[in-house]
């Protein structure tokens, strides 16, 4: 039997739908208040689909994943939430995490609840970018280095950052300003780590201003300032640039995909830092957060999967034997290159990156 659609029924239906819509906010509880969910903010590839499926099936916890692409964006969103965080786990860069800790956005890790903490590589478990004020504040996940990515069919392996400012490469280079800036400071003879300027902001400002002016002067060499790792990959694959300053992850992925790319740490040096998962202060699903972190550290297979999806080295023990020869070869750096790397100084990072962020805005605006 079919029910005839009359004007009265339509109006009644619309009215009921309207009442339902108005009542929806009180009927739908926020995800963060539920106990069978976990809200994770992460960079792409850090929570692999395979791990997520397995974790959800084994624990019954639903992972709500929100992809982030920028530390500043994540910081501002957390501060704006005024202590009632919608995320349980966030993904903070090692050199930025002091800023998050000092702003009260993170929860110290309770090692008694993190039974698989011993699966973190020892050199990273005790690193100064994991602890502050005698507490551990996150679980290191991947290690990133920054250097030069180049098209091997278009140029020889560059030895120096000078290649980025060579008139022969005008309009053929690309970089992410904030990541490249400390390297250029080193290239110009300043201290990119800002350790030397920690007690004198005026000197630091002059060094940053001089580097900013240098980069503005050489703006014609840049085809594009990129933001996400995938952008620099596209620029190289599309033939838009021949050399770019970038991190090890996108370079490794390009090489493994068969693109004629190379990755070097220039003689002026490169930076190293880590990304980890951190628990948001007062996380609504604290138990689920620990379940998630324990599950992640439980098997080196999870670390290997992250290596394959990001191209970054893993901070989890036992990952290397699980990688193929090609993957190991791409991820490995020579002893010389490793010696040229310096870890971002976490003590001065917030101070110098604050100046660099402003300089980056001005470089783009110029």
Partner 1 sequence: MTRLLVRARRLAVYRTAIDALSASPWLRALVVAVVPVLWVLVTNLAPLVQMVAISLLDRYPLPPGETAAWTTRHYRAFVERPLYLNAFTRSFVFATLVTALTLAVMFPVAYYLSKAAPRSWRVRLILLVVAPFWTSEIIRSFAWILMLANRGAVNSALMWLGLSDAPVEMLYSRFSLAVGVIYLSSLYMLLPLYAALEKIDDRLLEAAADLGARPLTRLRRIVLPLARDGIVVGCTLVFLLAVGLYAMPQLLGGPGDTLFAATIGQVFGRAGDSWPLGSAFSIILILAALGWVGLFAALVGRGGRRRVVR
Q: Rounded to whole angstroms, how far apart are CA atoms 212 and 228?
A: 21
Q: Rounded to whole angstroms, how far apart are CA atoms 133 and 59?
A: 33
Give me the phi and psi of 81, to 5 degrees please: -75, -5
Write down the least CB distance from residue 308 to partner 1, Å. 26
Write down the least CB distance from residue 271 to partner 1, Å. 17
Write down the least CB distance from residue 222 to partner 1, Å. 4
Write down the least CB distance from residue 81 to partner 1, Å. 9
Go through the chain and tell me how many residues it has: 366
Asked if 225 contacts 155 with a C-beta cutoff of 8 angstroms, the reply is no
Of 18 and 72, the one with the shorter C-beta distance to partner 1 is: 72
Q: Residue 283, Cα to own-chain centre: how many angstroms?
A: 21
Write down the least CB distance from residue 111 to partner 1, Å. 27
Of 195 and 219, the one with the shorter C-beta distance to partner 1 is: 219
Q: Rounded to whole angstroms, how far apart are CA atoms 229 and 226?
A: 8
Of 301 and 362, the one with the shorter C-beta distance to partner 1 is: 362
Write down the least CB distance from residue 182 to partner 1, Å. 16
Residues linked to residue 107 through DSSP beta bridges, in sequence order? 279
68-78 as b/e: b if 16+ CB within 10 A: beebeebbebb
Which residue ranges make up the site for partner 1 (CB under 8 A)? 8, 11, 70-76, 79-80, 82-83, 96, 99, 103-104, 171, 219, 222-225, 227, 238-240, 353-354, 357-358, 360-362, 364-366
Q: Rounded to whole angstroms, how far apart are CA atoms 113 and 213?
A: 50
Of 82 and 189, the one with the shorter C-beta distance to partner 1 is: 82
Of 20 and 282, the one with the shorter C-beta distance to partner 1 is: 282
Of 237 and 339, the one with the shorter C-beta distance to partner 1 is: 237
Of 166 and 362, the one with the shorter C-beta distance to partner 1 is: 362
Q: Is 352 exposed, middle or buried (0-12, 13-18, 19+ CB in 10 A)?
A: buried
Q: Tell me whether strands 62-67 and 173-175 are parallel, antiparallel or unpaired.
A: unpaired
Q: Rounded to whole angstroms, how far apart are CA atoms 273 and 143?
A: 6
Write down the least CB distance from residue 241 to partner 1, Å. 10
């Amino acid at each position: 039997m079919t029910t005839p659609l009359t004007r009265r029924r339509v109006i009644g239906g619309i009215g009921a739908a309207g009442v339902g819509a108005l009542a929806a906010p009180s009927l739908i509880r926020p995800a963060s208040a539920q106990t069978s969910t976990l809200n994770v903010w992460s960079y792409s590839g850090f929570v692999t689909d395979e791990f997520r499926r397995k974790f959800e099936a084994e624990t019954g916890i639903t992972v709500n994943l929100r992809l982030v692409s920028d530390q500043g964006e994540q910081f501002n969103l957390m501060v704006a939430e005024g202590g009632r965080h919608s995320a349980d786990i966030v993904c903070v860069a090692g050199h930025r995490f002091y800023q998050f800790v000092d702003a009260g956005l993170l929860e110290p890790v309770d090692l008694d609840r993190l039974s698989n903490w011993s699966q973190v590589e020892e050199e990273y478990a005790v690193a100064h970018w994991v602890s502050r004020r005698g507490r551990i504040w996150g679980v290191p996940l991947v290690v990133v280095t920054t250097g030069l990515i180049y098209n091997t069919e278009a140029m020889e392996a560059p030895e120096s950052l000078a290649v980025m400012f060579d008139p022969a490469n005008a309009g053929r280079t690309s970089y992410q300003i904030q990541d490249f800036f400390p390297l250029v400071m080193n290239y110009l003879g300043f201290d990119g780590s800002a350790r030397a300027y920690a007690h004198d902001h005026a000197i630091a400002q002059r060094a940053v201003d001089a580097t900013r002016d240098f980069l503005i002067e050489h703006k014609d060499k840049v085809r594009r300032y990129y933001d996400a790792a995938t952008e620099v990959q596209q620029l190289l694959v599309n033939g838009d640039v021949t050399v770019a300053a970038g991190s090890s992850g996108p370079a490794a992925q390009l090489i493994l995909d068969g693109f004629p790319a190379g990755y070097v740490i220039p003689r002026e040096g490169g930076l190293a830092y880590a990304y980890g998962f951190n628990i948001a202060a007062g996380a609504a699903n604290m138990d689920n957060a620990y379940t998630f972190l324990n599950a992640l550290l439980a098997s080196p297979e999870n670390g290997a999967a992250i290596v394959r999806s990001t191209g970054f080295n893993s901070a989890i023990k036992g990952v290397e034997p699980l990688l193929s020869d090609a993957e190991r070869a791409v991820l490995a750096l020579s002893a010389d290159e490793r010696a040229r790397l310096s870890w971002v100084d976490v003590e001065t990072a917030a101070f110098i990156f604050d100046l660099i962020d402003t300089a980056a805005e001005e470089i783009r605006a110029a």
